[in-house]
Chain A
Amino acid sequence: MKLLPFLLAGAAFAASSLTAQAEVRFGVMNESYPPFFAKDAAGQWQGWEIDLMNAVCEEMKETCSIVELSWDGLIPALQSEKFDVIWSSMSQTAERSKIIDFTDKYYNTPSTLIGPKDQKPGATPDDVREKTIGIQVSTIQSDYYKKYFADVAEQKTYQTLDEAFQDLAAGRIDYVFGDSLALDAFLKSDGGQECCAKMGDVADDKDILGAGVSGGLRKEDTQLKAKLNAAIAAVRTSGNYDAITKKYFDFDIYGAK
């Protein structure tokens, strides 16, 4: 039975060479989240996060593909190996870190409340007392709501931010609570300019609002994590990151170091 070790070694070699050649599949939410990711008229993905993905892939010298999925299906699909990295503006939080691993952050933005123009600005629990706040399900903002606003204000849960914006414009809710960049994009749109204004950023809480947006990985994929982190760092230092950011924003979205 001397052959067995050779066979095993051969199988191991074949397996390792297979994983090296396989493409890296990026899981992206199948709803637009401009300016981070959205489909253009031709159905092609584009946006800041897609450009960053391409830059990172170039740096890793891997072929990459995009797998589309609903937001709440991303983590289950990652675990069942439908794709390899969540690349969908997902914030790294303590809760999510129990289940999946994260790369280093690639951007970080504050959380904001927006509301009707004629409403008094402010983003403290006192300001939202007895009001209704629209929040996208399963976001860091909904955890923040539970800790700071649940006693004083009512929550409405939405599958997408677009639905929450609709209801805000229709006067069904008093606030939408979400990531500042996504809400800014709405406020700049025609519908948003007409009805709504920024009420303010909420007080920071790193435990809930997270250490920034990063790629989500399966815990056992340590190799891929090291590769992605190296690639993100390389894109940062090469100036490529700033070049991509300039295309979409007039300020640096990396946040504090």
Chain B
Amino acid sequence: MTFSWITAYWPLLLAGAGQTVLLLLISVVFGFVIAIGLAFAQVSGGRLTRHFARAYCTFFRGTPLLIQLWLLYYGVGSLLPMIPGIRQSLFWPILREGFFFAALSFTLNYAAYEAEVLRGALLAVPKGELEAGYAFGMRRSTLVRRIWLPRAIRIALPTIGGEIVMQLKATPLAFTVTVMDLYAVASMVRQDTLLVYEPLIVVTGFYLVLTAIIASAFRRFEAQVPLRR
């Protein structure tokens, strides 16, 4: 076991961890917002929106994330330059990066999983509480904001924590589209130094620490808002 390479690769490892965390944050935050919309579309939307939301979730949960990523990066991404003027536009430096496509596909994928979790949670909120809200004269939007959604999120909280950890473990796929995340740094160290196990062990440690942080944060949330039925 040799770990002397760490001194030379330390900044890269930290930068890689930064990219991993950034990918996770972007996909979880934006994915969650989309998921709320999709979940409500499924439980209380009209026929058309219900079907759309269901089709969306089936597609993104039913196909491998790697294929979604590559469809976006190599498929959509290689069609983009055909739009005239896009290479000169302000957005091209972002649109040409693998990071953009990784963040986008992770967000869309996470939204699908989270929407299913939230849909179940929305349905699990006791009917009586919603009726009590109406009885107080709340409008639908107030009811959703004050009772339905907060109660559902609380019910789903342990599952959401689990999903975020799953999402963390999906991020190394970004490495296949030239993003220098934690795993990409590990494989670069391997290729430079021809050490196979040591960089993988170090990176494993990083992922474990991140998972522990997520898990303990969720334990704290859950303790703050006890679940009463």
Q: Which A positions have Cβ atoms within 8 angstroms of B?
A: 72, 75-76, 99, 137-138, 156-159, 166-167, 169-172
Find out whether the CB atom of B191 lies under 8 angstroms from the CB atom of A156. Answer: no
Measured CA separation A129–B69 after assembly (Å): 30
Given contacts A157-B178, A158-B178, A159-B176, contact A72 B78 (CB under 8 A): no
Find out whether the CB atom of A169 lies under 8 angstroms from the CB atom of B196. Answer: no
A172 CB contacts on chain B under 8 angstroms: 77, 96-98
Find out whether the CB atom of A170 lies under 8 angstroms from the CB atom of B184. Answer: no
Measured CA separation A97–B81 after assembly (Å): 43
The one of B98, B180, B184, B191 that contacts A72, using a Cβ cutoff of 8 Å: B191
Chain B interface, >50% SS class: helix
15 A-B pairs within 8 Å (CB atoms) are namely A72-B190, A76-B194, A99-B194, A137-B188, A137-B191, A157-B178, A157-B184, A157-B188, A158-B178, A159-B176, A166-B74, A166-B78, A170-B81, A171-B81, A171-B87
The one of B78, B192, B196 that contacts A170, using a Cβ cutoff of 8 Å: B78
Q: Which residues of chain B from 66 to 120 have a CB within 8 Å of any chain A CB?
A: 74, 77-78, 80-81, 87, 96-98
Contact-size category for B: 20 to 34
Residue of A nearest to B87 (CB): A171
Is B187 in the interface zone, CB < 8 Å from A? Answer: yes
Residue of A nearest to B178 (CB): A156
A76 CB contacts on chain B under 8 angstroms: 194, 196
B97 CB contacts on chain A under 8 angstroms: 172
Given contacts A137-B187, A156-B178, A159-B176, contact A171 B96 (CB under 8 A): yes
Find out whether the CB atom of B194 lies under 8 angstroms from the CB atom of A75. Answer: yes
Nearest Cβ on chain B to A36's Cβ, whole angstroms: 21
Interface core residue of B77, B96, B194 (most chain A CB under 10 Å):
B194
Measured CA separation A137–B74 after assembly (Å): 19
Q: Supply 14 further A-B pairs (C-beta < 8 A) apart from A76-B194, A138-B192, A157-B180.
A: A72-B191, A76-B196, A137-B187, A138-B191, A156-B178, A157-B184, A157-B188, A158-B178, A167-B178, A170-B77, A170-B81, A171-B87, A172-B97, A172-B98
A72 CB contacts on chain B under 8 angstroms: 187, 190-191
Nearest Cβ on chain B to A199's Cβ, whole angstroms: 18
Nearest Cβ on chain B to A130's Cβ, whole angstroms: 12
By Cβ-Cβ distance, the 10 closest A-B pairs, closest first, are A138-B191, A170-B78, A171-B81, A172-B96, A156-B178, A137-B191, A76-B196, A72-B191, A170-B81, A99-B194
B181-202 to A contact mask, C-beta < 8 Å, 1/0: 0001001101110101000000
Measured CA separation A65–B96 after assembly (Å): 42
Q: Which residues of chain B from 187 to 221 have a CB within 8 Å of any chain A CB?
A: 187-188, 190-192, 194, 196
Chain A interface, >50% SS class: mixed
B130-151 to A contact mask, C-beta < 8 Å, 1/0: 0000000000000000000000
A99 CB contacts on chain B under 8 angstroms: 194
Nearest Cβ on chain A to B110's Cβ, whole angstroms: 24
Measured CA separation A230–B217 after assembly (Å): 66
Measured CA separation A76–B77 after assembly (Å): 34
Measured CA separation A172–B194 after assembly (Å): 29
B74 CB contacts on chain A under 8 angstroms: 166
Find out whether the CB atom of B191 lies under 8 angstroms from the CB atom of A169. Answer: no
Measured CA separation A156–B196 after assembly (Å): 22
Measured CA separation A251–B96 after assembly (Å): 38
Nearest Cβ on chain A to B26's Cβ, whole angstroms: 20
Interface core residue of A76, A166, A170 (most chain B CB under 10 Å):
A170
Nearest Cβ on chain A to B69's Cβ, whole angstroms: 13
Measured CA separation A51–B63 after assembly (Å): 41
Residue of B nearest to A99 (CB): B194
Measured CA separation A75–B191 after assembly (Å): 10
Measured CA separation A170–B196 after assembly (Å): 33
Residue of B nearest to A138 (CB): B191
Measured CA separation A72–B77 after assembly (Å): 27
Given contacts A157-B178, A157-B184, contact A170 B80 (CB under 8 A): yes
Measured CA separation A99–B87 after assembly (Å): 44
Residue of A nearest to B190 (CB): A72
A170 CB contacts on chain B under 8 angstroms: 77-78, 80-81
A157 CB contacts on chain B under 8 angstroms: 178, 180, 184, 188
